[in-house]
Amino acid sequence: MIWQTIFLGLMLQLILVIGAKYPKNINIWPMPESVEYGNQTLTISKDFNLKVDGSKYKDKSSILKDSFTRLLDVVTSNNVIEYNFGKVDQSNLLQGIHVVILSEDDQLQYGVDESYKLNILSKGNPNYAYIEAATVYGTLHAMQTFSQLCHFNLHTRKLIVSQTPISITDRPRFSYRGLHIDTSRHYQPLPMIKKVIDSMAYAKLNVLHWHIVDEQSFPLEIPSFPKLWNGAYSRPERYTVAAAADIVSYAQRRGINVLAELDVPGHARSWGIGYPALWPSKTCREPLDVSNDFTFELINGVLSDFSKIFKFRFVHLGGDEVDTSCWKLTPRIQKWLKNKGLNESTAYEYFVLRAQKIALSHGYEVINWEETFNHFGSKLDRKTVVHNWLGGGVAEQVVKAGLRCIVSNQDKWYLDHLDNDWQQVYMNEPLTNITNPEQQKLVIGGEVCAWAETIDGSNIEQTIWPRAAAAAERLWTHPDKLAKDPNEVTSRIANFRCLLNQRGVAAAPLDVPGRAAPIGPGSCYVQ
């Protein structure tokens, strides 16, 4: 296998047209770390197949096989292919993809190696595209890249791969590349969540941050405390344990981790519908009662059930926008605070740190919104990841304190802010003003957020896409390949937006705010 790799490398050196430092004439999104390409065209065989000779990965769970099936589906779905190859030179037929995976393991976890190499020669008999990856998850990304190189030729009515020979070496810039969805303000049907996961894979995003519950509704089944989902909007607008586990499995098979969020102590009024003892009083229902041990027994039960479903290393415990007025206005809580030597502010700290200890006991590392850092950052567990959202400059302070950070500043990366156009999203740099290499490593990535006050199944895709794609390239692509001016990538992101439409994803036009409709007739590629 080493000799095969060397041979392919030598052949490519002989016949490649070397791409520019920033290749502008090839439509791949997000842009790979290294791309070299030529000017030849191959036709895809009707018997296009998958070879795994030399691969250590045995695909016992069929992740690779299913990925190849999905690849065939997306590249053939746009037109009817006419497989008459009588006049095609057999050496110009691409017979399939030869995949070599170097690891036997298919455990998906934070920091898994997602790198890959993709080579396509311009001639061969038989001729196969060649993918080499450290893990199956790198291979999934390579498949997505390959799918974007395939086109339907209207003249021949066949699928082609142009600009061969192609040599791509690729890996992500950040290990955490997230999209946040919110099923507490509006319920999202399971098929729609799966569609969102599919579209994330197209853009190489790898974390679905599932904000499942909030003050408005609690739609998730919790076996340890079965009355919690009494706080759902309605009986049909609920997720069973089996449904949540299915979402996690569906995402994992596409290389995507699911981050579950349990936002405490604020944003939790709906919890008390089933368990009123969680409220400070009947008339003052949020934040959760800090003085009641039952509050923490319940959090322990929820996180215990979470640990059986959500296998990602991290759990999100929220901690944002905590208004402690109810604690101050409730006499028995005030008495408890006095006995403990606490005030409302230190009680907030006490609650967050106690919840963190519970999560750690279940094997999780904790993500908290930035208010926890802003109020008592030095007290947070050192494994804490601080999730920035209020604005700029926070990540810089977090990493100086030696903690990890995720960037989601609302002025650029909140997709429900419809005035955040794709250009702003693209130019939002997670490492702004962070120049120390060791501190840069503490920024584990970023996330675009689609809060759902005005989002349901009718418009979630339009709200997310194509703006999330702009963040996806910022988080995936090596800084040297990122455009200094978003106008340089307008054509390429327009092409990706149209590709999403062709794959059944309701991505909105580029040239309108947020999720607005096209303003009139026109080509997909210029709207």
Rounded to whole angstroms, how far apart are CA atoms 50 and 368? 43
- What is the chain's mean pLDDT, rounded? 94
* Mean of pLDDT values over 278-302: 97
Q: How confident is the model at residue 403 (pLDDT cuts 50, 70, 90)?
A: very high
Residue closest to 160 by CA, chosen among 45, 50, 284, 73 = 45
Judge whether residue 137 has pLDDT over 70.
Answer: yes
Domain boundaries, the chain: 19-170, 176-486+497-517
Q: What pLDDT is attached to residue 484?
A: 96
Q: What pLDDT is attached to residue 527?
A: 85
Place of tokens 């089996």: 242
Peptide bond into 126 cis (omega under 30): yes
- Cα angle 181, 187, 189 (rounded to 5 degrees) comes to 90
* Mean of pLDDT values over 146-171: 93
Provide the b/e sequence for 31-57 (b: ≥16 CB within 10 Å): bbbbbbbbebbbbbbeebebbbeebeb
Place of tokens 């192609």: 166
- Cα angle 17, 19, 24 (rounded to 5 degrees) comes to 130
Q: What pLDDT is attached to residue 87?
A: 67
Which is the catalytic residue, given 82, 104, 297, 321? 321
- Please, what sign has the CA dihedral across residues 401, 403, 406, 408? negative
Q: What pLDDT is attached to residue 391?
A: 81
Query: What is the tens place of the pLDDT at every residue in 12-53?
Result: 444 444 444 556 789 999 999 999 999 999 999 999 999 999
DSSP conformation class of 410: H
Q: What pLDDT is attached to residue 348?
A: 98
Judge whether residue 86 has pLDDT over 70.
Answer: no
pTM of the model: 0.94
Rounded to whole angstroms, how far apart are CA atoms 340 and 461? 48
Give the chain's radius of gyration (CA, Å): 25
* Mean of pLDDT values over 241-263: 98
User: What is the fold, at CATH topology level, of the domain defined by 19-170?
Assistant: Chitobiase; domain 2 (3.30.379)
Read off the tokens for 429: 């740099």
What percent of the chain clears pLDDT 70, i.e. is strictly above it? Answer: 95
Read off the tokens for 526: 């210029």
Edge-to-edge, what's the strand order for the sheet holding 404-407? 257-260, 207-211, 176-182, 443-450, 404-407, 385-388, 365-369, 314-316
What percent of the chain clears pLDDT 90, i.e. is strictly above it? Answer: 86
* Mean of pLDDT values over 312-341: 97
Q: Count CB neighbours of 405 within 10 A.
A: 29
Residue 177 three-state SS: strand
Cβ pair 519, 512 in contact under 8 A: yes
Q: Count CB neighbours of 523 within 10 A.
A: 8
270: left (phi over 0), alpha (psi -120 to 50) or beta: alpha
Task: Give the list of residues 6+ apart from residue 381 with CB closer than 8 angstroms, or none.
Answer: 353, 356, 357, 360, 366
Judge whether residue 3 has pLDDT over 80.
Answer: no
321 in catalytic set: yes
Q: How confident is the model at residue 2 (pLDDT cuts 50, 70, 90)?
A: very low
* Mean of pLDDT values over 388-406: 96
Q: What pLDDT is attached to residue 1?
A: 46
Q: 19-170 with 176-486+497-517: one CATH topology?
A: no
Judge whether residue 10 has pLDDT over 70.
Answer: no
Comparing 72-76, 300-304, 331-335, the range with the smallest average pLDDT is 72-76
Q: How confident is the model at residue 215 (pLDDT cuts 50, 70, 90)?
A: very high
DSSP element (H, E) containing 345: helix 344-361
Place of tokens 């027994």: 297
Rounded to whole angstroms, how far apart are CA atoms 70 and 75? 9
Rounded to whole angstroms, how far apart are CA atoms 182 and 211? 5
Q: Which CATH class is domain 176-486+497-517?
A: alpha beta
Task: Give the list of residues 6+ apart from residue 441 with CB closer than 8 angstroms, or none.
Answer: none
Amino acid at 202: Y
* Mean of pLDDT values over 121-126: 86
The DSSP string of 294-319 is HHHHHHHHHHHHHHHH--SSEEE---
